[in-house]
Amino acid sequence: MSGHVSMQQAGAGVWDALVIGAGPAGGAAATRLAQGGARVLLVDRVALPRGKVCGCCLGPMGVGALRAFGAEGVLAGARDVRDVMLVCGGRGAGLAMPPMAVIGREALDARLVEFAQGAGASVLWSVSARVEADDTVTLTDADGSSVRARARVVLVCDGLAGASLRERPAMAARVSSDSRIGVGAAVEAGARELDLVGEGLMMLVARGGYLGVVALPDGRVDLAAALDAEVVRRAGGTAAAVQRVIEECCLVDGGAVRTRVKGSLVSDDSGGKNGEFLVLLARALLALVERGAERKVWRGTAALTRSRAVVQCGRLVVVGDSAGYVEPFTGEGMGWALAGGAAAGGLALRAIGSDDAGVERVLGAWPGELAALVGRRRGKCGVVASLARRPRVVSALVRVAAWSPGVSSSLITGLGLAARMREPHWSAA
């Protein structure tokens, strides 16, 4: 059975594998399982395609994971981005970074699920999953009707906010006390705004959080930020908090450059002034943020930085953000989720191939596999994210980048942030 199934079909018989959540982790896991010949059911509480708070930049690890199971075609039309412009304290500097594929989450996640279905996976949308104490899964639809689904292996890929393990307190996630929250919007943009945003990625780093900005292949601009919850509360809402980040980074106040910027401007390639460019950029970004608010496309996430001490128990394995996450400064979460999903799918295939007693023994390898796959990268990302909480450090880095690309290069490479530094390369209006 592949394609869309009904609630009744979901509850009939025993599936080889049930995957909860159709993000990158769940899509990759379902694909790997279906390719291995397993009877797999993928469920999500919403119907795809759907948007998500995300910077939409898929790095080499994620692209490699897609390629490994023959799904790189899901990236058709993605933009290739190799530069990031760091903006902080009224200055900007361009850095080269590992190549990233930029693609909207509506397209990426839906295409990956289509690929999994093509490999033989069955799907069921708009059902909320809850894992019971006996590892069966209750699926509840929008009308409140429920069925109990059974599977030899259950892969929990329900992301940051997923609560499918709420009946399993021993597996509860621990949220970091100083965790930031994510907010984001993909907003229709005009030609002038797209021109200012440019071809690369922008990261604006302020005291209360940071904002990533990138043009999507479909002509929208993706805005994704990690912010202190307190900053959002004090600003009176998501859009207002993001506007503060923009104003602080570009040192604009109601559209005028503050006097302290003057006299310390960095020239850009076109002979214009960094400060002039930042004012134009700020105006464009502030307009995009406001448009996103008018169109009600801003979304929020649960607290970002979290960990789960128990990522495997009985027939369950936990994958992707649900297994643990750190702030998104280095933009690797989708890569971790795709690589993790593929690895968990492979492990689940081995488990399904053994007898009942063997299932738990095989799945017992998951905590070690997951740590080997993403443990160090998460650690590095945590270090970079904590540096990003010190805008003075970032501001100093931006100055060094403008002054000496070579010196900053070693520092940045050491942090795993980028391959080398570059002169600012944007074109001022």
Ligand X SMILES: Cc1cc2nc3c(=O)[nH]c(=O)nc-3n(C[C@H](O)[C@H](O)[C@H](O)COP(=O)(O)OP(=O)(O)OC[C@H]3O[C@@H](n4cnc5c(N)ncnc54)[C@H](O)[C@@H]3O)c2cc1C
Residues in contact with ligand X by CB under 6 A are 20-26, 43-46, 52-58, 62, 128-129, 157-160, 162-164, 182, 184, 224-226, 301, 304, 320-322, 328, 331-335, 337
Cβ within 8 Å of residue 124, ≥6 positions away = 4, 5, 6, 7, 10, 41, 42, 43, 139
Per the listing, tokens 């506007």 go with 243
Minimum CB distance to ligand X smaller for 37 or for 237: 237
State in angstroms the smallest separation of the CB of 129 from ligand X.
Answer: 4
Minimum CB distance to ligand X smaller for 23 or for 275: 23
Q: How far is CA 73 from the centre of its chain?
A: 20
* Among the listed residues 234, 233, 277, the one whose alpha carbon sits nearest the alpha carbon of residue 252: 277
* Among the listed residues 283, 265, 284, the one whose alpha carbon sits nearest the alpha carbon of residue 275: 265
State in angstroms the smallest separation of the CB of 146 from ligand X.
Answer: 12
- Decide: 409 and 421 in contact? Cβ < 8 Å: yes
Minimum CB distance to ligand X smaller for 91 or for 306: 306
Q: Which two tokens stand for residue 135?
A: 């590892």
State in angstroms the smallest separation of the CB of 114 from ligand X.
Answer: 15
DSSP state of 73: G
State in angstroms the smallest separation of the CB of 62 from ligand X.
Answer: 6
Minimum CB distance to ligand X smaller for 128 or for 408: 128
Minimum CB distance to ligand X smaller for 90 or for 324: 324
CA angle 61, 66, 67 (to 5 degrees): 95
- Decide: 152 and 15 in contact? Cβ < 8 Å: yes
- Decide: 345 and 29 in contact? Cβ < 8 Å: yes
Minimum CB distance to ligand X smaller for 56 or for 402: 56
Minimum CB distance to ligand X smaller for 307 or for 354: 307
State in angstroms the smallest separation of the CB of 214 from ligand X.
Answer: 8
State in angstroms the smallest separation of the CB of 251 from ligand X.
Answer: 23
Q: Which two tokens stand for residue 167?
A: 């009946």
Minimum CB distance to ligand X smaller for 56 or for 370: 56
Cβ within 8 Å of residue 125, ≥6 positions away = 4, 43, 44, 46, 47, 48
Q: Given phi > 0 = left and psi -120 to 50 = alpha, else beta, which region is 286?
A: alpha
State in angstroms the smallest separation of the CB of 225 from ligand X.
Answer: 6
State in angstroms the smallest separation of the CB of 130 from ligand X.
Answer: 7
* Among the listed residues 116, 59, 104, the one whose alpha carbon sits nearest the alpha carbon of residue 82: 59
